[in-house]
Homo-oligomer: A and B are copies of this chain.
Amino acid sequence: MPISGFPELLPGQRFVELAVLDRLRRTFELHGFAPVETPAAESLDQLTRKGEIEKEVYVLRRLHADDSDAGGSLGLHFDLTVPFARYVLEHAGHLEFPFRRYQIQKVWRGERPQEGRFREFTQADIDVVARDVLPFHHDVEVARVMAEALASLEFLPPLRLQVNNRRLVEGFYRGIGAPDPAAVMRTIDRIDKVPADVIAKMLHEEAGLDDEQTAKCLALADIRSSDTSFVDRVWALGVAHELLDQGVAELEAVVRGCATITGVTVEADLRIARGLDYYTGTVFETRMAGYEALGSVCSGGRYDSLASDGKTTYPGVGISLGVTRLLVPLLQRGVLTASRSVPSAVLVALPDEESRESCDAIAYALRVRGIACEVAANPQKYGKQIRYAERRGIPFVWFPGEPHTVKDIRSGDQVEAQPSVWTPPVDDLHPSVVVPTKGTS
């Protein structure tokens, strides 16, 4: 029985996931991000330090626990940020700062499962962390790197990476004289979930704003642009504050830094707040067109203190892609699939059991040149062997003989070929990601 909230893929679906993970890794490494992996388990002390999501943690217990387990409880990590902060402190003496790392791993949360929410899911995180001071240009860097990584997944529905800046909104709220800027931020954070009149009421009643202040806050939250035109619209609201200046300049730098990226929309969106998280400047969220109900599939921001050991503080900026959250709904609905369910590009047909050795030699000659293939399991009639290939999506069947021939079973084209020379078209070498309504990617 499948366990609720623990998704399991068929081989073809797993090819799609691997294609995604490979492309992410490639982009991250091209930008100098080093691979880090941490254990699935952390001490419960580490995991519950922040407190707020305590109830979601899976605790580990040995089935027949004994005294040797007295040394403290373990739990499965629920994100990759808490383990990375611990990693930085623990290995600081062996790391060079600024330290760029990517981390692609499963995480676990004991939440009630629902679409887009899983109990086991894969995240792909990038962070840049420094000792004491982290220059702002790294905010631009992580935005660019993740935007490039997302753009490399051209088979996904359109993605919008939305950027905002906590200093900008806090400076604005202070500039209009809001008595409790944090309360305003918490309210604006709910703007996509709650009707506008309720938001206005909350801004009055809970955040203590008057009508003019409320109108300005709602006007700010309405600003969105994929170029730097948002800047003039902010200034047009006539609010001044030193923090606002800094925030606008930072957000402008991120949007300008991502201007040359194609394939993914990067935009300033002044309602993005990441309500509960400890971000201090830049914040990121990401929406996938047609899948808005999933919420943000890729989020992050700037922490002034990712980690601290009391003496040294490690500021960081990072962004986390919810690979499972984004991919599994697409796979389950058949929006994405793979061109075949096996890696083999070629099935070497087997005329009779005595020919197995010579067929293995043909397969060997193909493999040393990087062509994945398999030899038929049984010397059935060729028609049956061809159907075997068809069912798996293997595009080519090799017929041993004098001369050898190879047949593209999609087109029916059959040509003479030599095992040491013939190569399939490059698009057929590996399984590819297919968008049934759009064709092969």
Q: Which residues of B contact A28 (CB under 8 A)?
A: 343
Q: Interface-forming stretch among A105-113, A179-187, A241-249, A293-301?
A: A105-113
**CA separation between A101 and B11, bound complex, in Å?**
8
Which listed residue, B63, B372, B373, B391, touches A75 by the CB 8 Å rule? B63
Contact assessment for B372 and A31 in the assembled complex, using a CB-CB cutoff below 8 Å: yes
Which listed residue, B63, B76, B130, B371, touches A55 by the CB 8 Å rule? B63
Number of copies: 2
Q: Which residues of B contact A100 (CB under 8 A)?
A: 342, 374
Check: A62 CB closer than 8 A to any chain B CB: yes
Q: Which residues of B contact A8 (CB under 8 A)?
A: 37-39, 87, 90
Q: Interface-forming stretch among A91-99, A192-200, A304-312, A413-421?
A: A91-99
Check: A269 CB closer than 8 A to any chain B CB: no
Check: A384 CB closer than 8 A to any chain B CB: no
Kindly supply a per-residue 1/0 record for chain A positions 315-359, scoring 1 wherever the CB is within 8 Å of any chain B CB and 0 otherwise.
000000000000000000000000001111000000000001000
Known contacts A61-B58, A87-B8, A100-B342: A14-B30 contact under CB 8 Å: no
Which listed residue, B18, B30, B63, B76, touches A54 by the CB 8 Å rule? B63
Q: Interface-forming stretch among A40-48, A232-240, A278-286, A404-412?
A: A40-48
Which listed residue, B1, B39, B371, B388, touches A43 by the CB 8 Å rule? B1
Which listed residue, B30, B62, B96, B106, touches A40 by the CB 8 Å rule? B106
Check: A114 CB closer than 8 A to any chain B CB: no
- A-B contact sample (14 more), CB < 8 A, given A1-B43, A55-B63, A59-B63: A1-B90, A3-B42, A3-B43, A8-B37, A11-B36, A28-B343, A30-B371, A31-B367, A34-B341, A44-B63, A48-B63, A56-B63, A58-B60, A59-B62
Residues of A near any B CB (own CB < 8 A)? 1-4, 6-11, 14-15, 17-18, 28-44, 48, 54-64, 68, 71, 74-76, 87, 90-91, 94-96, 98, 100-101, 106, 108, 110, 112, 120, 130, 135, 137-138, 341-344, 356, 367, 370-374, 377-378, 388, 391-392
Q: Which residues of B contact A371 (CB under 8 A)?
A: 30
Which listed residue, B4, B39, B48, B63, touches A120 by the CB 8 Å rule? B39
| A403 CB → nearest B CB, Å | 24
**CA separation between A225 and B76, bound complex, in Å?**
46
**CA separation between A41 and B41, bound complex, in Å?**
14
Known contacts A34-B343, A94-B10: A356-B137 contact under CB 8 Å: yes
Contact assessment for A15 and B35 in the assembled complex, using a CB-CB cutoff below 8 Å: yes
| A428 CB → nearest B CB, Å | 14
Q: Which residues of B contact A4 (CB under 8 A)?
A: 71
Known contacts A55-B62, A62-B59: A120-B40 contact under CB 8 Å: yes
Known contacts A35-B18, A90-B2: A30-B370 contact under CB 8 Å: yes
**CA separation between A137 and B377, bound complex, in Å?**
8
Contact assessment for A54 and B60 in the assembled complex, using a CB-CB cutoff below 8 Å: no
A430 (CB) vs chain B CBs: closest residue: B29
Which listed residue, B91, B94, B98, B343, touches A30 by the CB 8 Å rule? B343
Q: Which residues of B contact A54 (CB under 8 A)?
A: 63-64
Q: Which residues of B contact A344 (CB under 8 A)?
A: 32
Contact assessment for B32 and A373 in the assembled complex, using a CB-CB cutoff below 8 Å: yes
A32 (CB) vs chain B CBs: closest residue: B374
Q: Which residues of B contact A392 (CB under 8 A)?
A: 96
A342 (CB) vs chain B CBs: closest residue: B34
A91 (CB) vs chain B CBs: closest residue: B10
Which listed residue, B63, B96, B372, touches A29 by the CB 8 Å rule? B372
**CA separation between A137 and B30, bound complex, in Å?**
43
Known contacts A3-B43, A94-B10: A57-B68 contact under CB 8 Å: no
